[in-house]
Structure 1
């Protein structure tokens, strides 16, 4: 399609069960001036053939086949080929409402636009996650750092970006990161942006994939996630409680993830998990953040206790197993 207003980038890998619904939901958009870029990341199933069939059916669809290199490399290639003024990402196992693109227009020409979403629980029931309507610019955030709390920076889907900002600043996803690469991309993008709008309505339907990278133990998660936290520090400064609470909350999230993904795994993974938790506990930023949680409220006190107990839980668990057997 010539001169599309927005480019929709969909990385495709091993999702033949969901791909048709994803593509159909995009083609059903009330806003018609878009191109759909399907990036086949060397998918081993029928997805490559499905993509080629989709391309034959609609002139707005562009298919790119590449060797498997991961979702970040697929997104980077999609951005390189994009012709639209704006870019949005949709995961190939998700789908969107027919007003997904049209709703972004409420933000006019703002640089970073976020919409709400739906997600599934364990019973496959959809729950709505509406955002609080919010409009600001990054100069205001630098003056009043607390405003950063109203800007969602997690996830790459459900956002609209300006291609001009991405290309002018040579922004890409870090292909070495298997987790948190979306947050880092968003923060890097915000650092180069001016206007921000958070829309209220939910138009994106997110499926939790048990085979995704977030389901597996990843020793480098703390290192990767801290990159985003330190980037936020470039906006709000590091010598304040707001930044240190970001550090603390990230440490809690990472430790929770380590225990959840290492649970029931072999001894090698359990040992690696223990080392990773110790690394979090010893981090200089995490240690500095402790004063923020000592006297705030009961919940934060409980979290602090949980944090200090973390390194000993594997030993307690091991002892329990020996006694039990």
Structure 2
């Protein structure tokens, strides 16, 4: 009999945290799952840890593959997944003991729901912050789109439990970062009903040398910009609210500003053309999250990137 849930854990160089991650899944009150451990060519002892766990529990499948990155590992897991629902857990994170029990019960009781969004705790040894949610069923397309592209939603695969139909014909883009944002328009197209859950907690481990806390490589900037461009184009085509559209234009502006500052204008000319083509007025700066963002955006609109590249370019 096929399991109700396939839990996919992509693994690379996390020997220090892997057992905590796996153990948090194995002690779940919910038992009707398969656990797919994808060893993405990890150079440490992760592969052996995976095999040792699989030898003790028949629900565990292990895939050993050549390193291909996060998207490649997730995709390898999707290919062999047999469950009606899919969950992705990063191998340095872990989940509360009740994470799957009530959430999966809700999905089983409401088969029309395509996607469940869980609660998250940003965890480290010194300080942790939990984002609690009120239970809410979004049962029409307008509500779903407004939520999935709002600041209230974390565009990360690990925060969701998906019906497997969502990933029919959809895979994570390999060789990219910000892969979850890149496929967000495709996920949004397929999700007709979304449940925001107030049960269980996903513990996202905050670690040093995070990509969000350091200067990005020129290619990484392009990957971020590609993802935001896809989202902005989708928002325009679907008529998503002005506030949400502006939110993503501000993000795009900020990343592009940093890219031009860290490298040069010529490197990102195509992205600047996209930015100039977005329908936007100076008055839309009122939607910025802070005065600093608003001022930065106004300066970009008034002076353009040519001036900024001379001031901040390498």
What TM-score, normalized to structure 1? 0.79
2:263 maps to which of 268, 271, 281: 271
Q: Give the unaligned 5+ runs of structure 2.
A: none
1:208 aligned to 2:185?
Answer: no
Aligned counterparts of 2:45 and 2:227: Cα–Cα separation in 1: 33
Q: Which residue of 2 aligns with 1:106?
A: 106
Cα 1:276–1:251 shift into 2, 3 Å: farther
Q: Which residue of 2 aligns with 1:245?
A: 246
Q: Which residue of 1 aligns with 2:129?
A: 127
Aligned counterparts of 1:309 and 1:50: Cα–Cα separation in 2: 53
Aligned counterparts of 1:163 and 1:242: Cα–Cα separation in 2: 31
Kindly state the Cα deviation for residue 300 of structure 1 after the two structures are TM-superposed: 5.8
1:192 maps to which of 183, 186, 190: 190
Aligned counterparts of 1:278 and 1:202: Cα–Cα separation in 2: 45
8 Å CA contact retained: 1:51, 1:63? yes
2:279 maps to which of 268, 273, 288: 288
8 Å CA contact retained: 1:73, 1:173? yes
Aligned counterparts of 1:50 and 1:103: Cα–Cα separation in 2: 29
Q: Which residue of 1 aligns with 2:155?
A: 154
2:120 maps to which of 110, 117, 120: 117
Q: Which residue of 2 aligns with 1:266?
A: none
Deviates more, 1:108-117 or 1:84-93: 108-117
Alignment of 1:164-179 (within 5 A): 164-167=165-168, 170-176=169-175, 178-179=176-177
Kindly state the Cα deviation for residue 307 of structure 1 after the two structures are TM-superposed: 2.9
Deviates more, 1:34-43 or 1:208-217: 208-217
Aligned counterparts of 2:272 and 2:281: Cα–Cα separation in 1: 10
Q: How many positions carry a matched residue from both structures?
A: 299
Q: Deviations over 1:17-56 (max 9, x none)?
A: 1000000001010101111100011111111111111111
8 Å CA contact retained: 1:117, 1:203? yes
Q: Give the unaligned 5+ runs of structure 1.
A: 263-269, 320-325
8 Å CA contact retained: 1:146, 1:242? no
Q: Which residue of 2 aligns with 1:70?
A: 69
Alignment of 1:9-20 (within 5 A): 9-20=8-19
SS in 1 for 2:16: coil
8 Å CA contact retained: 1:153, 1:183? no
Q: Deviations over 1:257-311 (max 9, x none)?
A: 659xx8xxxxxxx324x556776555346652234524x3796664232235575
Alignment of 1:22-41 (within 5 A): 22-41=21-40
8 Å CA contact retained: 1:118, 1:202? no
Report the RMSD for the aligned CA atoms in angstroms: 3.1
Q: Which residue of 2 aligns with 1:180?
A: 178
8 Å CA contact retained: 2:221, 2:255? no
8 Å CA contact retained: 2:236, 2:245? no
